């Protein structure tokens, strides 16, 4: 399958994790962004998974990962 | 409301004590019209969310909803709203539908320290949770009919999972096993992230495992005994067993077995996911629509690798709708947020008569107290802020007299309207506060607001107004019951 673009961060690197099948027919696919960890199902409403329609405050820019808080900072953690 | 005669009450109490699993409880709920089956075909999004939200608008009476025809998940079942209404909570406690929140509060408060635990063990071969087992090529999506709970969640969440673990440094200590509800985001076929903070038991265990470089194994239980789901969210001491506590509070036996990775788990749960912490790794987690009705931010959270999954035949995946209230989260944890604060306060101040911390996990609390002297209620309020839950959650506190029922907001508003003076308000700025308070300028810090709406006592100047004292007590309550019976046509 052609990797889908992440609706949240715009990355082109994604992995198909699972296909939902009814009576031998694929009805949806779950994708996961390899960069920002967003997961989505391609049957969801466009407001959630169409990057052009998705609310701007829920877009994600991960070019500076250091700005995201780390939960339970491990002692050997590499930023 | 069900007619609550003596026989019904004792039958209900016996039935509740006989509940040993989610399936038992769903059967009980169905008998009382409190669980329905949704067999029309639904899409995972947005249908499951929409139906769950529509149900949760009826906080008193909403049924659990069992879905068994979800597009792309043939043969799989999911249930929401098991603890989603006060009537469902009442049935779990062995009380009739229509039991008031106040009655349930005192029922729970009265169970504290009142009973002993009944824990029994069954072998793995006899445990229903191990009927089916997967140890290779695990794909969580192939087992769990997940869906996006709120539209902008960062992924697919297990939001009603009880996570069991042993202390990584003292793995043989039964008491130091932890069972807690943490939000889990699926991060690929066989990985999930877990959100916690250092103050939580799981946070302590993750930090300890990473500091010492030792494994941390967990067992994620889904579709659990409804009493454990109710009580595992209650803050208790680190070395107290949540299983023993839940059994004692329910007055009912709990069956445990071993998970494949050596952790005590509920023998009758629907599904258990066994996993191990990936030491030192963090992945993007969130946002997630949380109980204040707002999304948490994106953080980098610990991640676990799944090692095996066990489940009952034809398992039921239980999840919750959580977001802007009221939701199942509020009915699930509301009374068990209130009761510990009440019990802890009464150790110092037996004058406390009731605590209502139902609102957004206690971001607002209402405490009723017998006012011994002018200003007394303010000291009780400051003590409440020193309880384990009050420290991080009791943001707004309203203090009322003992003649006010804190669960009756009309009475609370009367007290606010008639008994508050502007100089009876205290604001404590820059205090510790739960980081997901949406009002926070700096997450993790916030204010505590105390509104003293108790009456004036000498040496306060009281003014010339004297209170009306309408008739109260058993006679008035009986008259009220008679009026309701007349309305229903039971009595002419």
Mean pLDDT of the region A35-39: 98
Residue at B474 is within a domain: no
- Catalytic residue selected from B242, B270, B290, B318: B290
Long-range contacts for A46-51 (Cβ within 8 Å, ≥24 apart)? A47/B151, A48/A7, A48/B45, A48/B148, A48/B151, A48/B152, A49/A7, A50/A7, A51/A5, A51/A6, A51/A7, A51/A8, A51/A10
Chain B neighbors of A53, CB-CB under 8 A: none
pLDDT cut 70: percent of chain B above it: 96
B257-274 pLDDT tens trace: 999 999 999 999 999 999
Is pLDDT above 80 for B209?
yes
pLDDT at B82: 98
What CATH code is carried by the domain that includes residue B311?
A: 2.30.110.10
What CATH code is carried by the domain that includes residue B353?
A: 3.40.1670.10
> What is the least distance, in Å, from the CA of A33 to any CA of chain B?
10
> What is the least distance, in Å, from the CA of B77 to any CA of chain A?
14
Is pLDDT above 90 for B489?
no
pLDDT cut 70: percent of chain A above it: 92
| CA–CA dist A36, A14 (Å, integer) | 10
Interface predicted TM-score of the whole assembly (ipTM), two decimals: 0.95
Mean pLDDT of the region B174-180: 79
Chain A neighbors of B294, CB-CB under 8 A: none
Mutate to test the interface with B, among A74, A77, A78 (most CBs of B within 10 A): A74
Residue at B48 is within a domain: yes
User: At which of B268, B299, B318 does a domain end?
Assistant: B318
Residue at A68 is within a domain: no
Q: What are phi and psi of B370, to 5 degrees?
A: -75, 115
| CA–CA dist B72, B94 (Å, integer) | 38
Residue A44: domain span: 1-58
Residue at B324 is within a domain: no
pLDDT band per the 50, 70, 90 thresholds, residue A60: very high
Q: What are phi and psi of B84, to 5 degrees?
A: -90, 5
Is pLDDT above 70 for B239?
no
Number of separate domains in chain A:
1
Mutate to test the interface with A, among B71, B151, B279, B304 (most CBs of A within 10 A): B151
pLDDT at B8: 79
DSSP string across B449-462: EEEE-SPP-TTS--
B128-174 pLDDT tens trace: 999 999 999 999 999 999 999 999 999 999 999 999 998 999 888 77
Do residues B280 and B364 share a domain? no
| CA–CA dist B446, B435 (Å, integer) | 9
User: Do residues B288 and B192 make contact, with C-beta atoms less than 8 angstroms apart?
Assistant: no
Chain B, nearest residue to A57 by Cα: B152
Of A65-74, B32-41, B108-117, B324-333, which one has max mean pLDDT? B32-41
Which residue, B430, B432, B446, is CA-closest to B391? B432
Tokens representing B244? 């023993």
Tokens representing B247? 């059994």
Q: What stretches of B185-287 show up as alpha helix (H) in DSSP?
A: 201-212, 226-231, 242-250
B29-69 pLDDT tens trace: 999 999 999 999 999 999 999 999 999 999 999 999 999 99
Element containing residue B475 per DSSP (H, E): helix B474-488
- Of A69-73, B197-201, B348-352, the range with the lowest mean pLDDT is B197-201
Q: Is B103 a catalytic residue?
A: no
pLDDT at A79: 46
User: Do residues B76 and B317 make contact, with C-beta atoms less than 8 angstroms apart?
Assistant: yes
Q: What are phi and psi of B349, to 5 degrees?
A: -125, 90
Mean pLDDT of the region B86-93: 96
pLDDT at B118: 86
| Residues facing B222 on adjacent strands | B271
Chain B neighbors of A74, CB-CB under 8 A: 207, 210, 279-280, 282
Residue at B416 is within a domain: yes
Residue B27: domain span: 6-318
Is pLDDT above 60 for B238?
no
- Of A65-69, B11-15, B464-468, the range with the lowest mean pLDDT is B464-468
Chain B neighbors of A15, CB-CB under 8 A: 188
Is pLDDT above 90 for A8?
yes
Is pLDDT above 60 for B3?
no
- Of B109-113, B155-159, B444-448, the range with the lowest mean pLDDT is B109-113
Residues with Cβ within 8 Å of residue B91, at least 6 apart in sequence: B12, B16, B28, B29, B32, B34, B97
Do residues B304 and B377 share a domain? no
User: Do residues B200 and B206 make contact, with C-beta atoms less than 8 angstroms apart?
Assistant: no
Residue at B486 is within a domain: no
More confident residue, B114 or B43: B43
Do residues B177 and B275 share a domain? yes
Tokens representing B337? 């947020």
The alpha carbon of residue B113 and the mean position of all alpha carbons in its chain are separated, in whole angstroms, by: 19
pLDDT at B246: 86
Chain B neighbors of A69, CB-CB under 8 A: 297, 299-300
Mean pLDDT of the region B307-322: 97
Chain B, nearest residue to A44 by Cα: B45
Chain B, nearest residue to A6 by Cα: B154
Of B156, B210, B297, the CB nearest to A39: B156
Mean pLDDT of the region B400-410: 96
Do residues B255 and B381 share a domain? no
| CA–CA dist A36, A31 (Å, integer) | 12
B421: left (phi over 0), alpha (psi -120 to 50) or beta: beta
pLDDT at B251: 85
Chain A, nearest residue to B151 by Cα: A48
């Amino acid at each position: 399958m052609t990797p889908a673009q992440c609706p949240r961060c715009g990355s082109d690197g994604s992995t198909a994790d699972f296909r939902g099948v009814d009576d031998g027919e694929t009805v949806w696919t779950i994708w996961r962004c390899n960069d920002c960890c967003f997961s989505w199902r391609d049957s969801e409403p466009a407001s959630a998974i169409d990057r052009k329609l998705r609310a701007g405050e829920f877009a994600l820019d991960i070019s500076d990962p250091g700005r995201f808080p780390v939960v339970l900072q491990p002692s050997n953690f590499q930023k | 409301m069900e007619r609550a005669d003596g026989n019904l009450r004792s039958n209900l109490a016996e039935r509740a004590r006989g509940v040993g699993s989610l399936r038992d409880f769903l059967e009980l709920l169905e008998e009382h019209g409190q669980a329905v089956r949704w067999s029309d075909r639904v899409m995972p999004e947005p249908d499951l969310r929409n139906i769950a939200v529509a149900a949760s608008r009826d906080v008193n009476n909403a049924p659990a909803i069992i879905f068994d025809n979800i597009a792309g998940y043939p043969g799989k079942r999911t249930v929401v709203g098991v603890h989603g209404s006060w009537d469902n909570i009442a049935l779990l406690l062995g009380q009739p539908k229509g039991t008031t929140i106040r009655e349930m509060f005192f029922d729970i408060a009265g169970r504290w320290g009142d009973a002993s635990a009944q824990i029994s063990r069954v072998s793995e071969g006899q445990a229903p949770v191990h009927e089916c087992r997967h140890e290779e090529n695990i794909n969580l999506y192939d087992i769990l009919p997940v869906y996006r709970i709120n539209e902008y969640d960062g992924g697919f969440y297990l939001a009603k999972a009880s996570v069991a673990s042993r202390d990584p440094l003292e793995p043989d200590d039964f008491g130091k096993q932890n069972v807690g509800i943490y939000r889990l985001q699926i991060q690929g076929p066989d990985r999930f992230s877990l959100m916690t903070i250092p103050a939580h038991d799981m946070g302590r265990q993750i930090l300890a495992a990473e500091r010492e470089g030792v494994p941390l194994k967990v067992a994620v239980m889904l579709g659990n005994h409804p009493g454990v789901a109710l009580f595992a969210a209650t803050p208790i001491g680190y070395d107290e067993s949540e299983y023993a506590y839940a059994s004692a509070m329910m007055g009912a036996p709990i069956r445990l077995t071993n998970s494949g990775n050596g952790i005590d788990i509920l023998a009758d749960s629907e599904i258990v996911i066994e996993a191990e912490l990936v030491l030192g790794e963090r992945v993007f987690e969130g946002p997630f629509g949380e109980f204040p009705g707002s999304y948490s931010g994106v953080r980098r959270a610990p991640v676990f690798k799944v090692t095996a999954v066990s489940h009952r035949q034809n398992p039921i995946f239980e999840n919750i709708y959580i977001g802007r209230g009221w939701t199942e989260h509020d009915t699930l944890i509301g009374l068990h947020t209130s009761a510990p604060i009440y019990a802890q306060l009464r150790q110092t101040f037996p004058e406390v008569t009731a605590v209502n911390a139902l609102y957004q996990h206690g971001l607002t609390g209402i405490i009723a107290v017998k006012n011994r002297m002018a200003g007394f209620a303010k000291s009780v309020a400051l003590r409440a802020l020193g309880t384990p839950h009050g420290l991080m959650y009791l943001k707004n506190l309203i203090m009322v007299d003992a003649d006010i029922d804190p669960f009756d907001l009309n009475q609370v508003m009367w007290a606010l309207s008639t008994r508050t003076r502007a100089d009876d308000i205290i604001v404590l700025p820059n205090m510790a506060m739960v980081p997901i308070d949406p009002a926070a300028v700096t997450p993790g810090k916030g204010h505590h607001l105390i509104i003293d709406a108790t009456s004036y006592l000498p040496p306060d100047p009281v003014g010339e107004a004297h209170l009306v004292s309408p008739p109260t007590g058993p006679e008035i309550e009986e008259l009220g019951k008679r009026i309701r019976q007349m309305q229903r046509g039971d009595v002419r």
